[in-house]
A and B are shown apart, each in its own frame.
Chain A
Amino acid sequence: MNSGIGLADVIVMFAYFAVVVAVGIFAGRFTRSTSEFFFAGQRFSWWLVAISCVATLVGSYSFQSYSQVGYLYGFASMMPYTNEWFILPIFLVAWLPIIYYTRVQSIPEYFELRFDRPTRTAVLVLLLIYLEVYIGINLLTIGQVLFGVFRAYAPFETPDLNILLAAGLMALVAGIYLHHGGQTSVLMTDLVQGLLLLGVGLGVLLAGVYYVGGPSAFWQGLPPDKRMPMAPFNHPPGLHTVGDFWNDAIIGTFAFYCINQGVLMRFLSVKSVRDGRKAMLATVVVLMPLAAAAVSGAGWVGRSMNTLGLLEHDAATLALQTSDPNIVEKTIADQIFVNVARHVLSWPGMFGLVMAAVVAALMSTLDTLITAVSAVAVNDIWRPLNPGRDDAYYLRAARITSIIATLIGLAMIPVGTRFETIYQALSMFTSLVIPPLVVVIFLAVTTHRFTARAAFWTLVLGSAAMVVSLVWPEVIRPFSHGVDPSAGFPYLRGLFGLIASLVIAGGLTLVETRLARLPSWFARWAVGTASLAGIGGAVWLPLASRIDFSSTGSTADSWGWITGLLWLAAGFALVSARIVVQGPRKHESVDGLVMGTIDHARQMFKGGQPSEQGVGRSLVMPLVIVDAPATDHQVCLPPEAMRQLKVEPGDLLYVADSRWWLGGFRSFHAKAGPAAEHPDALHLPRQLAELGHLLPDRAVRIEKVM
C-alpha cells in the first residue's frame, strides 16, 4: 500500500484504536473466572457470535489479496467465502453438540477423552504450531501494511525492524484489552470491528458502482469471463474450481470451524447449542457472502473502471517499462484496493477509515488466536502440570500465557519474511498439520471403530506424508485433475494429504480391529512380510537413485517420490507390526463423544433426562432482587411462567436482560427450582443477579434451554 496519509486519516485511525481499546477494557470488567475469560460464561446470543466469526475469518490480508483476486478473476473471487455448505452437517449435528455438551475446554482435551493422552499431546503440538504460525502471519501482514503507510516516519533503516516495530505496537494494543477481558472483550470488540470492516468494504463497492455510472455500467464494464461466479475447472493456476474445492471448501472450512480453537471457543460462548447452530447458519448464508463482496468489491470495481477508462494508474504502474501484459495486469492488481478506495472515497479521513478497517480485520483475527493459544496452554499444559489450584490462579496463568503467545507470534515474523509471499508461508506451515487433523477429527466423531493408536499414528504418519509431498510434489500428480504441474500443485496438496491420512487411518484401524485379532502366527507372518517389503524398498530406492537411468530414458530424480512413498510405507508397516505385537486394547467407552451417542452427552450436561418441550419459547417479566441465599444456582419461576414455558424443576434456564441488543451481555444460566410464591415477577437472590450482571430496574427474559 502507498503512503500519503493525511492528518485527518491519522486522527481517524487513532480514534478507532481508542474506541476498540475502550470497548475491550469495558467488556473486560465482566471477566472474573477462567470460564468467562475463555468462553465468556457461555451466555451470548447467536448474532453476536456470527458477526464475531466473520470478523475473525476476514484476516488482515483479506482486503489486499481478495481485491487482487477480484480484479484478476472477477466474481469468482467469492468462491472461498460461499463454499462452506458441505461441512455444515458435520459441524452442526456432530462437532458442535459434542464439544458443547461434554464441556471440554480445548480440542486436545476432547482427544484425551475420546482416545488417550499421547493423542492429546500430538494434537496439542500440531494445534499450537497452527495457531502460532497464524498469529505470526497476521502480525507480519499488519506490520508490512503499517510500514507501507507510515514509511516516511519509520525510525529504523532496516525494513524488517520497522515491520517488527509496527507489528509489536499492534500486538500491544490487542494485548491491552485481551489481557484484561479475554473472550468477552474479544466478542465485544469484534462486534465493532466486524461492522467496521463490512461497512467499509461494502461502502467501497457501492461507492464504486455509483462512481462508474450505476449497476448497468458496472456490469457492462466487466469482461464476460469476469462475470462468472465460479472459476474454470482446472485453470488458470492462480484460481481454479478443483483447487478451491479441496483446498478451501473442504479442508480450509473444516480447519476454520472444527480445528481453529479460537473459532470453536466463539461457538462455545453462545447460550445454547441451538443458538450456536443459528450463528453458524447466519454466518454461512448471510454474512459470508456479504464479507466476500466487502473484501473483493474493490477488485470488481477496479476491473470495471479499467475497462471503461476511469482508472488512473499510480506512479509505480506508469513507470513500468515492460510490454508484458501479465506483469502490467499483476502490478495493477497489487495496488487495486488502495487505488479504487482513493478514487471513490476521496474526502479527508476516508483513507484513514479504510486503513482502520484493514487494522480491524487484523485485530479481530489476532485477538481470537491469542485467546485460543492461551486456552490451549492453560487447559492442556498448565492445568495438568499444576492440578488442584483455585480458579484465580488459572486466570492469572491465562493472562500471562496470552502475553507469551503474542511474543512467540512476534518471534515468528523473521521466519515469515524469508518467504516470497505471506500466502506461501501460511500455506507451507498449515498444509503440514491440517489434513491429518481433518481426517482424525472426522473419523473420531463419526465412527466408534476408530482406535486411539490409529488416531495417534495417523497424526504422525499423515504429517510425514505432507513433508514427503513438499519435498517431492510429484506424489500429488495422480490427484492433480489436469492442473498445470509447473507450480507444484499448491492447491491440491491438501487432497493428497486427505487421501494419505485416510489410507493410514483406515489401514491402522483395520490392523488393530481385524489383523491383531487373527491367530498369532498368521498375523506375524502377514505383518512381518509387509514390514520387510516396506523397509527393503525404502533402503533399496535411495541406493537405486544413484544409478544412472539415462540409458533407459529416465532420470535418477524422477524416482525420488517413490523413495518418499516407500519411507511412508515402511513407517506404516512398522507401526502395524507394533500394534500386532502389542495386541488389541480394551475397548473404552465413547458415549457422548461420537455422533449417535450425543443424547448421552446432553444427559450429562443437564444432569438429568433432557426434554425439548418448550425449548425456544421465552417470556419477559419484571425482576426483583432480594437479599436471600442462592441455592445451587436455582431460580424459582412463578407457576404461570412454568406452565407457559413447560418448565419442570431441574430444567436448564437462561435468564437475560430483556434488551435483545445487549446480546446476552447481562445474563446467566440456572436450574429451575420449585414454583415460586410470587406470581408477577422473578424474585432473584442478589448473588445470582450479580452473577448475570443484571440490573434491578430492568425486566428479564427467561428462556428454557433444555
Chain B
Amino acid sequence: MTIWYSWLYHYGVGGAFFAFCIWLMLRTGALRPRQERHHLRLLMSMTGGLLLFMTVHALWILLAAAG
C-alpha cells in the first residue's frame, strides 16, 4: 500500500515542522502552558487538531482500502 508513504511523509515531515515550531515557542516563552491557562488550551487545541486530521486521514485510507 504505497498510499501510506504519502500519509507518512505528510504527517512525518509536517509533524516535525509543527513540533519544531511548538518547541521554539516553549523555549522562547511565547507559549507558557504551565503558567497561563489559555496557553494550555491553545496548545491542546493545536495538538488535538493535528491528531484529528492524522486520524481522519488514516481511517479514510483504511476505509478506502477495504473497498
Residues of chain A contacted by B60 (CB below 8 angstroms): 75, 228-229
Q: Which of B6, B31, B36, B52 contacts A232 (CB 8 A)?
A: B6
Q: Are B9 and A245 neighbours in the complex by a CB distance under 8 Å?
A: yes
Q: Are B46 and A92 neighbours in the complex by a CB distance under 8 Å?
A: yes
Least CB distance, B67 to chain A, in whole angstroms:
7
Residues of chain A contacted by B45 (CB below 8 angstroms): 281
Q: Which of A217-233 contact B (CB under 8 A)?
A: 224, 227-233
Once A and B bind, how many residue pairs between them come within 8 Å at the CB atom?
95
In the complex, whether A598 has a CB less than 8 A from a CB of chain B is yes
Q: Are B25 and A229 neighbours in the complex by a CB distance under 8 Å?
A: no
Q: Are A229 and B57 neighbours in the complex by a CB distance under 8 Å?
A: yes
Q: Are A85 and B49 neighbours in the complex by a CB distance under 8 Å?
A: yes
Residues of chain A contacted by B63 (CB below 8 angstroms): 227
Known contacts A93-B31, A233-B2; A227 and B10 CB within 8 A of each other:
no
Q: Are A241 and B9 neighbours in the complex by a CB distance under 8 Å?
A: yes
Q: Are B46 and A89 neighbours in the complex by a CB distance under 8 Å?
A: yes
Residue of B nearest to A442 (CB): B21
In the complex, whether A410 has a CB less than 8 A from a CB of chain B is no
Number of chain A residues whose Cβ lies closer than 8 Å to a Cβ of chain B: 35
In the complex, whether A434 has a CB less than 8 A from a CB of chain B is no
Q: Are A230 and B30 neighbours in the complex by a CB distance under 8 Å?
A: no
Q: Are A85 and B29 neighbours in the complex by a CB distance under 8 Å?
A: no
Q: Are B14 and A88 neighbours in the complex by a CB distance under 8 Å?
A: no
Known contacts A249-B10, A277-B42; A285 and B52 CB within 8 A of each other:
yes
Q: Are B25 and A231 neighbours in the complex by a CB distance under 8 Å?
A: no
Alpha-carbon gap, A249 to B14, bound state (A): 9
Q: Which of B5, B22, B29 contacts A233 (CB 8 A)?
A: B5
Q: Are A284 and B3 neighbours in the complex by a CB distance under 8 Å?
A: no
Alpha-carbon gap, A274 to B45, bound state (A): 13
Q: Are A245 and B14 neighbours in the complex by a CB distance under 8 Å?
A: yes
Least CB distance, A70 to chain B, in whole angstroms:
15
Known contacts A93-B25, A229-B57; A285 and B38 CB within 8 A of each other:
no
Least CB distance, B15 to chain A, in whole angstroms:
8
Q: Which of A68-103 contact B (CB under 8 A)?
A: 75, 82-83, 85-86, 88-90, 92-94
Least CB distance, B5 to chain A, in whole angstroms:
4
A-B contact pairs, 26 of them (CB 8 A): A75-B60, A82-B57, A85-B14, A85-B46, A85-B53, A86-B18, A89-B18, A89-B21, A89-B25, A93-B30, A93-B31, A224-B64, A227-B64, A228-B61, A228-B64, A229-B57, A229-B60, A230-B3, A230-B6, A233-B6, A241-B9, A241-B10, A250-B14, A446-B28, A596-B30, A612-B37
Binding site for B on A (CB under 8 A): 75, 82-83, 85-86, 88-90, 92-94, 224, 227-233, 241-242, 245, 249-250, 274, 277, 281, 284-285, 446, 595-596, 598, 612, 615
| 18 additional A-B residue pairs with CB within 8 Å, beyond A89-B25, A229-B61, A232-B2 | A75-B64, A82-B53, A83-B14, A86-B14, A88-B18, A88-B49, A92-B46, A94-B25, A229-B56, A230-B6, A230-B61, A232-B6, A245-B9, A245-B13, A274-B38, A277-B42, A285-B52, A595-B28
